[in-house]
Amino acid sequence: MTLAQINSFVPLWVVFGLLAAFLSSSQMLLQEKFKGAPFAMAFWNKVVCALVMLPFVIATGLPTNPFFYTLLAIQALMWVISDVVFFRGINEVGAGVVSRLLPIGTLISFFLWFAFDFDLAAAYAKAPAFSLAIVFVFSLSAFFAWHMRSCPVTRKAIRVIWFTLFATVAGTIFTKIITQQTDADTGVFGYIFAEALIMITMWLVYYAIKRPLPANVMFGIKTAKAGLAVGTASAFTIAAYLYALYNIDNPAYVTAVRHLNAVMIFFIYRATGRPNDGKLWAGFGIVACVAALIVLKAQI
């Protein structure tokens, strides 16, 4: 079945958004399992992303728009910090808490995007009833995500991942703008590959100056194996996320679907018999909100 045939049944942004949610939950759970040193894991994650994407880049080629790479380099400055914070946050407070906090930025991203797309803002203004319903569902989704788990979100948890939360909002907007600089054929794989190389370079320079970890930890076999698992999941998570962005006007919709990873982690915990104090009603609430967003989006 072709993508066009799939799109006739389910919007492609939904298909790829769901795939991104599943893969990102796998990525978070793998990091939770390995508990690799955050800086080393962030580095190896991008090394693996570059290696995984290399065959695709050879097949499709790279984008030719220089502005694409300019924006990508600027965004990479943010991600080199955010990725380290993300992995450290999972190590310190767990995948459940991290996946519970990140959806807070979805509603902010939804409104913020209208500052970059006035035509879309005008389209929503012409359908106020549906627009208000969409805002309500986004808010409800964040509410359910907040109540997904009974574990307290302490000041420590917020302090640990606040930059990742900020990067989620800013990155959602920035990534959508970057995708507008080239088509999906070269943009998806070129984005992941080029961004990985830029970030790897930045981290190597930082490592050479600061030496934040011993070499046997940074470049050890154990860390590399953990990075291989997490990085493979990460590479395809980003690819699915980018394909979803190419098929939607407001990137916040993709973020909302992607945050189903909190629900997926909940059920994976339950299926594997791990300690799980999550709330079933909140999980189904998130699923219902995503379904409502899909239906409402079709009306505008």
Residue bearing the bigger pLDDT, 218 or 284: 218
Question: Exposure string (b/e) for 132-156, b if CB count within 10 Å is 16 or more?
Answer: ebbeebbebbbebbebbbeeeeeee
Rounded to two decimals, the pTM is: 0.88
How far does the chain reach from its first CA to its final CA, in angstroms? 27
Measured distance CA(179)–CA(251) in Å, rounded: 11
Q: What is the mean pLDDT of residues 254-281?
A: 81
- pLDDT beyond 90 at 26: yes
Domain boundaries, the chain: 11-297
What was the pLDDT predicted at 278? Answer: 63
Residue bearing the bigger pLDDT, 9 or 33: 33
3-state secondary structure of 230: helix
Residue with token string 């080393």: 40
Asked if residues 175 and 254 have their Cβ atoms less than 8 Å apart, the reply is: no
